[in-house]
Structure 1
Amino acid sequence: MSQFNLKIGPKIKAFRRQLGLQANKLAEDLGISPSYLNLIEAGKRKIDGDLLLKICERLNIDLSHLNAKSDINLENTISEILDDKLFEDLDILGPEVKDLVSTNPKIGKAIVRLGDILKKKDHELINKIEKISGKIVDNRKNSFPGEVISDFLQEQKNYFPKLEEFANKVFQKIQIDNRTRYLSLCEYLKTEYSITVKDVIPEENKPFSKIYNKQKKELLLSDYSSLETKKLHAAAQIAQLGAMKEVDYYLSKFSFPTLESKNLTKVALLNYCGAAILMPYKLFHTECKKLKYDLELLQNTFATSFEQVAHRVTCLQDPKLPGIPFHMLRVDMAGNISKRFSLSGIEIPRYGGACPRWNVYSAFTRPGVIQVAVSKMTNGEKYVCIARTVEKGIGRYGQAKSILSIGLGCDAKYAKDFVYTQNLNIQDKQNEIPIGVSCRTCDRLDCSQRAFPPLHKKFDVDINSRGVSIYVNDK
């Protein structure tokens, strides 16, 4: 019996549920019994080729969606959770985690949710102790809603066709020379919604990026923000006023643990729609293909920021007009990951920092310069990764800006369609940089940059010998 065919059953069930399609209805459409479909979805019956194609057609998915890795970051995230001392006596190994994710991804997601709660409770306890001791309160617990946003985007593959449709209709009305201009956005808000956009300098000690006053019908935008940021705020405001029904539709399809995480995701969807107004799908897709995803040229073509373009290229997931499946992450100089999304296949850690060999970190050594690398994972898979720093903050003399690094990459098989590989020999092993996901889950024993010992290897300290790292002493 084909093990491959058995493992895609749970994926079929997940896609069916995303469409809100009842199992009985799908079975009827396929001409099979509900009990047989139940066995398929449970991974207890293999599927022949003709039936598999019919399932893909009915669910409006490509066969590659079923062949792809299930829940790209789930295995690594569960491994991170199981690294806790609470589970060390169970000796759970990597293959066991992989088997769980392949056969029961929903149980895997439940473990991640419990892991989030565990981490949050731990941080809350630390905060209470700090309050009692009089020390500054650590506000790390506020990062958790951001993880929910990442989970939501990952589940939806960062593609929302109803928002794309709305954005395209707006763009058709306001475009000038295939661009969305700031004044056009302001005029549209005034004409369609009677909203007046005002550029203002915030009062001293009262900084803001935008303020929408519903009663006064005013949208105040800070003059300390860049023009690209103002454009996104204005476009997102159009989405808030005209596409909230579509936003609520997508929110209703996901179980949010808190109201805060739901509201933050709502903001993310409004920004998604705003970016789609600035960079409409078909036109943007055409330019991406023509320019081979040259981010700086795309930035100039659509008069947007580097980070906005990097976000937008990850959204090209229309099955009828697909782009390269990318991964993207954003980190600060302390290694904190504030944004993460992956369709490329690369795993991005959930709770800790990523591998220090990733060029998203080395980009800080050359601010503003795009760095290119061929990253090779421990399982042999290769990715073309680029990284560049961006500045965020108040555009005013004397005010320091924060520096973040944006990482973007794809599977090496797309190298010929990615401009950043034109001077890079992908096949030359000397160009490969061996990386892992994180120190805890990486088994490389030749890495001098280890911060922790490998999770699934015994760690003993020998005072008479040392490998390339104190955490590596493989005999």
Structure 2
Amino acid sequence: MGARKLYAGAKLRETRQKLGLTQKEFSAKLGISLPYLNQMENNNRPVSTAVVLNLAQEFGFDVTELATGDSERLVSDMREAMADPVLADAMPPLADLRLTASNAPALARAFLQLHRAYRQTHERLASLDEALGRDDARATPSPWDEVRDFFHYCDNYIDAVDRAAERFAAPVRHEENMRVRAVSALGNRGVTVQFRDMEALRLYDPAQRELALSLRAAPETQTFQLLLQVALLDQDKLLEATLDLARFQSEAARSIAKIGLANYFAGAAMMPYTRFLEAAEAERHDLEILAMRFGASVEQVAHRLSTLQRPGAKGVPFYFVRVDQAGTITKRHSATRLQFARYGGACPLWNVHQAFEMPGRFLRQLCETPDGVRYINLARDVSKPGGRWGAPVRRYAIALGCEVAHAGKLVFADGLDITNPRAFEPIGISCRICERERCHQRSVPPLERRLSIDVNARGTLPYEVS
């Protein structure tokens, strides 16, 4: 079988527009004819090897971005949206979805935004009939969904904020001194820091310029909250400029995103990009060693690993997810082809659910998604104690994974038989769009397939996928 042809017209056109070049100027620099460029930008012809090489040589372009753009994510998101019961009879062929994602990504995103608005309105009407006459009953995207999509389509990497955090951390030679650096930066702003026995993790009084942190929080959490406050005070202009570019549709979404960007700065300052990437590669991504070296929690380290997608200095493309005990996904980030269900819980065959049964242990899993891509997955529980007797314990589990092609770079892959196809467990994204016919954990039938029901026979499921 020959190599898969690369159709990346939208990405090629976006690159040209960012450079401020006309098609004529761009084609001349790439050494191709104007009609040929036009055909590639409209996906009438694949991007040739010569063009890929010229992009790298002429513009220093990271050519892997051509093949790892938004198309796969858009296809996954559209398939899930089309699996909604209201659209089940209108499911287009997969080839049509891929053409839409590659040729008309703006249209695909508009469709997803419309579907999100529909879902939110439907859920609001189902649970709050009295909302019909109120101003806030309009069909607008959820602020949480809007912010999640912002980070999702940025590959969870925000370059300007990441580099600002790295510059802030530059004077710190040893990570244990990061707390001192943060307190000093706040002191330069006239802010005093106090530690109190309180429920809240962080309380800032702008009038008195006092920051209070909880004595009950773990040291790495206290450091993170200090750096978050540094971001809100020292990096406010940068955060606001980034928010302006994002053009959120509501103030609520903008406020949530600002907290998200401040969180991003805090994590990037605790684990500065270059130093952290070098350490991760040297230690083969041993989460516990990295947590100890950078004064962070295992969850913070896992989250940071999923953000190492700086152009020209990319790390292993990881996905990161956190679920609660009900299986609901509370955090999700992916630099891989694996995408997570937007609605409902994670696939029950995923080992992240088993982590609750074995606290304090890393669980390894080789798995394969319906598209044939194989991954190595790591799961662990991350309980968050309340800090006093009787306080509720928040229990979560996290999963970190990458495609099995990167297994040699992970200490957790040692001893696993990655060459044995039978070692890979079948997992999916969402039952409604999963194509596996005989999954014993299926909760609902796949909406793309016909069902065969025999009243005289009963197997694992009360139907068969035909």
The TM-score normalised by the length of structure 2 is 0.90
Q: Partners of 1:12 and 1:216 in 2: how far apart? A: 52
Q: 1:444 to 1:220 in 2, by over 3 A?
A: same
Could you say what secondary structure the match of 2:331 adopts?
Answer: strand
Which digits, 9 at most, give the CA deviation of each residue in 1:140-177, with x for residues without a partner? x999333323321222222223223322222233x253
Gaps of 5+ in 1: 133-140
Task: Give the match's secondary structure for 2:182.
Answer: helix
Report the 3-state secondary structure (helix = DSSP H, G, I; strand = E; otherwise coil) of the residue aligned with 2:252.
helix
What secondary structure is seen at the aligned counterpart in 2 of 1:197? strand
Q: Structure 1 CA distance, aligned partners of 2:278 and 2:381?
A: 26
Q: Tell me, what secondary structure is at the counterpart of 2:211?
A: strand
State the 1:413 CA deviation. Answer: 0.2
- Hey, what does 1:96 align to over in structure 2? 96
The whole-number CA distance in structure 1 between the counterparts of 2:175 and 2:131 is 55
State the distance in 1 between where 2:201 and 2:372 align. 44
Matches for 1:99-114 after TM superposition, within 5 Å: 99-114=99-114
What percent of counterpart residues are identical?
A: 29
> How far 1:406 moved relative to its partner?
0.8
SS at match of 1:252: helix
- What is the match of residue 309 of structure 1? 301
Alignment counterpart, residue 184 of structure 2, candidates 183, 187, 212 = 187
Shift of 1:62: 1.9
Change (3 A) 1:34 1:227: farther
Alpha-carbon offset, residue 130 of structure 1:
7.8
Match of 2:12 in 1: 12
1:417 Cα shift? 0.3
3-state DSSP of counterpart to 2:376 = strand
Please tell me whether the aligned partners of residues 78 and 97 of structure 1 are also in contact (alpha carbons under 8 angstroms). Answer: yes
Unaligned runs of 5+ in 2: 133-138
Question: Which shows bigger deviation, 347-356 or 113-122?
Answer: 347-356
1:24-423 equivalence runs, <5 A: 26=26, 30=30, 37-56=37-56, 60-68=60-68, 70-129=70-129, 144-173=142-171, 175-190=172-187, 192-202=188-198, 207-392=199-384, 394-423=386-415
Contact kept in structure 2, 1:373 and 1:385, CA below 8 Å:
yes
Instruction: Indicate the SS of the match to 2:383.
Output: strand
Aligned pair in 2 of structure 1 residues 179, 54: CA closer, same or farther (>3 Å)?
A: farther
Shift of 1:268: 1.1
**Contact 1:180–1:277 (CA<8 Å) still a contact in 2?**
no
Change (3 A) 1:91 1:188: closer
Q: In 2, distance between residues paired with 1:195 and 1:222?
A: 16
Q: Partner of 1:138 in structure 2?
A: none
* Structure 1 pair 335–57 and aligned structure 2 pair: CA distance change class (3 A): farther
Contact in 1 for aligned 2:117/2:140 (Cα 8 Å)? no
Q: Secondary structure at the match of 1:423?
A: coil
Rounded to whole Å, the distance in 1 between the matches of 2:203 and 2:16 is 40
1:386-465 map, 5 Å: 386-392=378-384, 394-465=386-457
Deviation of residue 22 (structure 1)?
Answer: 5.4
Change beyond 3 A, Cα 1:34–1:226: farther
Distance 1:194 1:117 in 2: 44
CA deviations over 1:370-423 (Å, ceiling 9, x no partner): 111001112221000111111235322210111111111000000000111102
Task: Say if 1:176 and 1:54 are closer, same or farther in 2 by CA, change over 3 A.
Answer: closer
Post-superposition offset of 1:236? 1.6
Question: How far 1:366 sits from its partner (Å)?
Answer: 1.2
- 1:69 deviates by 6.0
Give the total of aligned pairs. 458
Cα distance between partner residues in 2 of 1:178 and 1:16: 41
SS for the counterpart of 2:89 is: helix
Q: Which region of structure 1 is more displaced relative to structure 2, 223-232 or 101-110?
A: 101-110
Q: Is the 8 A contact 1:466 1:473 kept in 2?
A: no
Q: Distance in 2 between matches of 1:108 and 1:180?
A: 47
Question: Could you say what the CA RMSD is over the residues aligned between the two structures, in angstroms?
Answer: 2.7
CA shift, 1:310, in A, is 0.8
Alpha-carbon distance in structure 1 between the residues aligned to 2:218 and 2:140 = 27
Letter of the 1:183 counterpart? V
CA distance in structure 2 between the partners assigned to 1:29 and 1:263 by the alignment: 43
- 1:220 partner amino acid: A
Q: Which amino acid aligns with 1:428?
A: N
After superposition, the Cα gap between the structure-2 partners of 1:358 and 1:403, relative to the gap in structure 1 and judged at 3 Å, is: same
TM-superposition CA deviations, 1:109-151 (whole Å, max 9, x none): 111111110111012112323889xxxxxxxx99933332332
1:44–1:380 Cα change, 3 Å: closer
TM-fit CA distance, 1:361: 1.5
Describe the shift of the 1:177–1:255 C-alpha distance in structure 2 as closer, same or farther (beyond 3 A). closer
Letter in 2 for 1:241: L
- 2:125 and 2:131 in contact (8 A); partners too: no
1-structure distance, mates of 2:140, 2:379: 26
In 1, the alpha carbon distance for the partners of 2:236 and 2:35 equals 39
Q: For the residues of structure 2 that align with 1:39 and 1:208, how far apart are their CA atoms?
A: 57
How far did 1:209 drift?
A: 2.0
Q: Distance in 2 between matches of 1:259 and 1:5?
A: 43
CA distance 1:51–1:431, change in 2 (3 Å): closer
| Change beyond 3 A, Cα 1:406–1:16 | farther
Cα pair 2:379 2:398 within 8 Å, conserved: yes
Change (3 A) 1:82 1:423: same
Quote the offset at 1:26 in angstroms. Answer: 4.7
> Do the aligned partners of 1:393 and 1:400 also contact (CA within 8 Å) in 2?
yes
Structure 2 SS opposite 1:424 = coil
Q: Shift of residue 42 of structure 1?
A: 2.1
Residue 291 (structure 1) shift: 0.8
Structure 1 residue 461: Cα displacement: 2.8
Does the CA-based 8 Å contact 1:180-1:278 persist in structure 2?
Answer: no
